C-alpha cells in the first residue's frame, strides 16, 4: 500500500524544481487555535496556550517532537533515551496518563497505557505547528484532557514542494525523511516518510523508528470539503530501565496505525465537521530481550470513533456543539480481552459583554458504559484592557478513565486494580497576557484539586506497585513567560527569537502512612527555560537553549543545547547541533541514565 501511494505521488511530480522560500515566523496574533468547535484567535484566548511554529520546529536543537516539547514552558517531558523513542508528557504536574495528544483534532488516546501517548505516526518534517493547552481540557476535548492537551497540526498546501532531510551523529545515530506536496486542481495532498535508528547511548538502548503519513483534501465547492488521512508508525527499542531496573534486558516493539475521513461544511454563519477515524496499536513486550519464553506480553488495542462538531453565529454570539461515540477494544495475553463504549455531548456559548469583555461557558456530558453519565462544566471570562493587554480567569472540571493497564495488568513488579474509579479534578486559573509587535508575555496562577487521583503505590520495595484512588491531592503553581519573535531585520547580527520562562509547582499530596507513591511527586517543581535564535548574515541561524529542571523526587539538572543552520529555507541547507553541551549527568524517568554530550549534523534539500 505504501509503495503504491508513493509511486502515484511521485509519478505526478515535475522535473524543473526551483528553490523554496518561506516566511521565517508566524505572527501569533494571526493564529487561530484549532479547537474542534469554537475557534478563537490566539490573542483573544482566555486560556494559557503555547504555540510551536514551523520555524521553531526546524531550528530547535532536537530530533523529535518529544525533545522539542521539553523546551515549552510548563511542559514536563520525561524521556527514556535519545530522540524520544519513548517519552511521557506531563502538564501542570499531571502524569503521562493525564495529557491528551491529538493529531488535527483527532484523539490519539491509547486505552492500554499512556506510555504510548507519543507514538505519533507523523514525521517531524510534515508538522506545521503544535498547540499546547495547559489546564483542564475536558469541556473542549473530552475525557483524558485532564491536565492539558497537545494538538499536532499538519496543513495541506496549495503549492508544489519537495523536502529531503538526512542526518547522522553520535551513538551511530542516523535518519532520513522525505516530504512532498502535490496539489492538482481542487485536490491537495501531502506524503511523508521517515526512518531513524541508533545503537543507543548505553546498554540495550538501541532503536529503529519508521513513519509513513499521507493526507489528502478535496474541495467540492465553496462550502464542502472532504479530507482523508492514512498513517503508520513502527518502532522497536531496547528498554533498559524503562519500566523496572530489575531487568536491564527489556525490549519492546510497537506498530501504530491511524486512518481518518472527514467532511466539513462551512458558510459565513455555520461550520460543521463530521469525521470517522480508527486507531490500532500493537505492542509486544519482553522482559528478557532474547528469551521471549521467560516473560512476554502481546497487546493489540483498537479504537473506532465518530464525531460531529460545529459552531454557528447568531445574535447571542457563537454557539459550539458536538457529539462523539468511541469504541475501545483490547486483546492481550496479560490484560485479557475487553471492550468499552464511550459517548459524549458538547455544548458551549461565547458571548461578548460590551466591547471589551467576553464570556465563554459550556459543558461536556460523558457516558461510559461502566460508570454511567458524568458532567464536566467549565467557563472562562476575558477582559481586553487594551488592544495588546488581556486579563482572564477560568474554571473547569476534568476527568480521566483508567487505562487497561491500570485495571488489569499482572507482572513481577506491577499489578492492576480492577476496582479503580475515574479520577476527577477541579481547576481554577487567573492570568494576563500581552501580545504586540512580536512580543508575547504571560503570567498565570493555577490550582488543581482532586480527591480521587489514580496513583501507583506500594507499602515497601518488596511489594509490586498497584494503583489506588487517592483521597486528596492539590497542585498549584505560577507560570511566567516572555517571548520575542521577529521575521526580518537589518544588520549582520539579528535577534530573531528570545524566550525566557519560569514555572513553579507546589504539590500537596496527603500521603497514607506506610505508602510509597510512584508518579504523583515526580512532577516538575521548578522549571527555567531560556533561549535565543540569532540571524547571522542572510543565511546563518544560531539557536541556543538553556534549561534548569527540578522535580520533587529527582535530582535537579542544568542542560545547554545549541544548533546552527545554514541556508535553512534555501534549496540546500545544512545544520549541526549539540545536546547537553554541559555534559550533565541526569535522569528524567525511572532509572534511565540520559546521555552526556552528543552531536548530530545533516542536510536539507528544499524544492518547489
pLDDT digits (tens, 9 = 90+) for 67-77: 999 999 999 99
pLDDT score of 21 more than 60: no
pLDDT score of 363 more than 80: yes
- Per DSSP, the residues of 213-225 read EEEEEEE-SSSEE
pLDDT score of 9 more than 60: no
- In this structure, what are the phi and psi dihedrals at residue 124, rounded to the nearest 5 degrees? -55, -35
The pLDDT assigned to 82 comes to: 83
C-beta separation of 249 from 290 below 8 A: yes
Domain ranges in the chain? 2-607
pLDDT score of 257 more than 90: yes
pLDDT digits (tens, 9 = 90+) for 295-317: 999 999 999 999 999 999 999 89
The pLDDT assigned to 455 comes to: 86
Residue 450, SS3?
strand
Burial 554-585 (b: 16+ CB within 10 A, else e): beebebbbbbbbbbbbeeebebbbbbbbeeee
pTM of the model: 0.92
Joined grid coordinates for residue 433: 497576557
pLDDT digits (tens, 9 = 90+) for 535-583: 999 899 999 999 999 998 788 999 999 999 999 989 999 999 999 999 9
Separation between Cα atoms, residue 552 and residue 567, nearest integer Å: 42
Separation between Cα atoms, residue 231 and residue 214, nearest integer Å: 6
Separation between Cα atoms, residue 208 and residue 334, nearest integer Å: 25
Alpha-carbon torsion 285, 287, 289, 294, what sign? negative
C-beta separation of 181 from 132 below 8 A: no
C-beta separation of 509 from 536 below 8 A: no
Does the 2-607 domain belong in CATH 2.40.170.20?
yes
pLDDT digits (tens, 9 = 90+) for 44-87: 899 999 999 999 999 999 999 999 999 999 999 998 888 878 88
DSSP-assigned beta bridge partners for residue 169: 173, 600
pLDDT score of 7 more than 60: no
Percent of the chain at pLDDT exceeding 90: 71
The pLDDT assigned to 370 comes to: 86
Separation between Cα atoms, residue 8 and residue 187, nearest integer Å: 14
Residue 53, SS3?
coil
Joined grid coordinates for residue 582: 554541559
C-beta separation of 525 from 567 below 8 A: no
Amino acid at each position: 500500500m505504501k509503495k503504491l501511494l508513493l509511486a502515484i505521488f511521485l509519478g505526478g511530480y515535475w522535473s524543473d524544481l526551483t528553490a523554496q522560500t518561506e516566511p521565517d515566523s508566524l505572527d501569533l496574533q494571526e493564529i487561530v487555535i484549532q479547537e474542534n468547535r469554537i475557534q478563537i484567535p490566539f490573542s483573544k484566548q482566555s486560556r494559557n496556550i503555547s504555540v510551536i511554529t514551523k520555524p521553531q520546529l526546524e531550528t530547535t536543537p532536537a530530533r523529535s517532537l518529544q525533545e522539542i516539547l521539553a523546551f515549552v514552558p510548563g511542559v514536563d517531558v520525561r524521556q527514556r533515551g535519545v530522540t524520544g523513542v519513548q517519552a511521557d508528557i506531563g502538564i501542570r504536574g499531571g502524569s503521562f496518563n493525564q495529557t491528551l495528544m491529538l493529531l488535527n483534532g483527532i484523539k490519539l488516546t491509547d486505552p492500554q497505557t499512556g506510555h504510548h501517548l507519543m507514538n505519533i505516526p507523523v514525521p517531524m518534517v510534515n508538522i506545521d505547528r503544535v498547540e499546547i493547552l495547559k489546564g483542564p481540557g475536558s469541556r473542549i476535548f473530552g475525557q483524558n484532557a485532564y491536565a492539558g492537551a497537545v494538538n499536532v497540526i499538519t496543513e495541506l498546501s496549495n503549492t508544489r514542494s519537495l523536502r529531503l532531510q538526512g542526518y547522522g551523529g553520535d551513538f551511530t545515530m542516523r535518519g532520513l525523511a522525505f516530504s512532498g506536496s502535490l496539489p492538482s486542481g481542487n485536490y491537495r495532498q501531502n506524503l511523508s516518510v521517515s526512518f531513524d535508528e541508533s545503537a543507543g547511548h548505553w546498554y540495550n538502548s538501541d532503536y529503529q523508528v519508521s513513519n509513513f503519513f499521507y493526507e489528502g483534501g478535496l474541495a467540492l465547492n465553496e462550502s464542502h470539503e472532504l479530507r482523508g488521512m492514512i498513517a503508520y508508525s513502527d518502532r522497536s527499542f531496547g528498554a533498559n530501565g524503562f519500566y523496572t531496573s530489575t531487568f536491564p534486558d527489556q525490549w519492546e516493539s510497537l506498530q501504530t496505525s491511524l486512518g481518518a475521513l472527514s467532511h466539513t461544511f462551512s458558510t459565513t454563519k455555520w461550520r460543521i465537521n463530521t469525521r470517522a477515524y480508527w486507531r490500532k496499536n500493537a505492542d509486544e513486550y519482553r522482559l528478557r530481550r532474547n528469551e521471549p519464553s521467560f516473560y512476554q506480553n502481546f497487546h493489540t488495542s483498537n479504537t473506532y470513533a465518530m464525531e460531529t462538531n460545529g459552531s454557528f453565529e447568531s445574535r447571542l454570539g457563537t454557539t459550539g456543539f458536538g457529539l462523539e461515540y468511541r469504541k475501545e477494544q483490547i486483546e492481550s495475553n496479560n490484560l485479557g480481552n475487553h471492550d468499552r463504549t464511550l459517548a459524549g455531548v458538547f455544548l458551549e456559548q461565547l458571548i461578548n459583554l460590551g466591547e471589551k469583555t467576553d464570556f465563554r461557558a459550556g459543558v461536556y456530558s460523558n457516558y461510559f458504559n461502566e460508570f454511567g453519565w458524568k458532567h464536566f462544566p467549565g467557563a472562562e471570562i476575558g477582559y481586553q484592557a487594551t488592544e495588546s493587554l488581556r486579563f482572564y480567569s477560568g474554571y473547569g472540571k476534568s476527568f480521566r478513565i483508567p487505562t487497561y493497564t491500570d485495571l488489569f495488568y499482572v507482572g513481577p513488579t506491577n499489578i492492576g486494580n480492577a476496582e479503580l474509579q475515574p479520577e476527577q479534578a477541579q481547576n481554577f486559573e487567573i492570568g494576563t497576557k500581552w501580545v504586540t509587535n512580536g512580543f508575547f508575555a504571560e503570567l498565570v496562577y493555577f490550582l488543581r484539586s482532586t480527591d480521587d487521583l489514580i496513583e501507583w503505590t506500594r507499602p515497601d520495595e518488596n511489594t509490586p506497585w498497584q494503583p489506588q484512588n487517592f483521597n486528596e491531592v492539590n497542585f498549584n503553581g505560577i507560570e511566567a513567560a516572555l517571548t520575542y519573535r521577529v521575521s526580518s531585520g537589518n544588520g549582520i547580527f539579528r535577534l530573531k527569537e528570545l524566550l525566557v520562562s519560569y514555572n513553579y509547582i507546589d504539590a500537596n499530596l496527603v500521603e497514607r502512612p506506610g505508602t510509597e507513591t510512584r508518579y504523583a511527586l515526580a512532577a516538575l517543581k521548578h522549571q527555567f527555560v531560556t533561549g535565543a535564535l540569532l540571524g547571522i548574515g542572510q543565511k546563518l541561524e544560531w539557536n541556543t537553549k538553556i534549561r534548569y529542571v527540578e522535580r520533587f523526587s529527582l535530582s535537579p539538572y542544568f542542560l545547554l543545547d545549541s544548533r546552527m543552520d545554514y541556508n535553512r529555507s534555501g534549496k540546500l541547507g545544512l545544520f549541526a547541533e549539540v545536546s547537553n553541551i554541559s555534559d550533565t549527568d541526569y535522569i528524567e524517568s525511572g532509572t534511565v541514565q540520559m546521555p552526556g554530550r552528543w552531536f548530530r549534523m545533516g542536510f536539507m534539500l528544499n524544492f518547489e
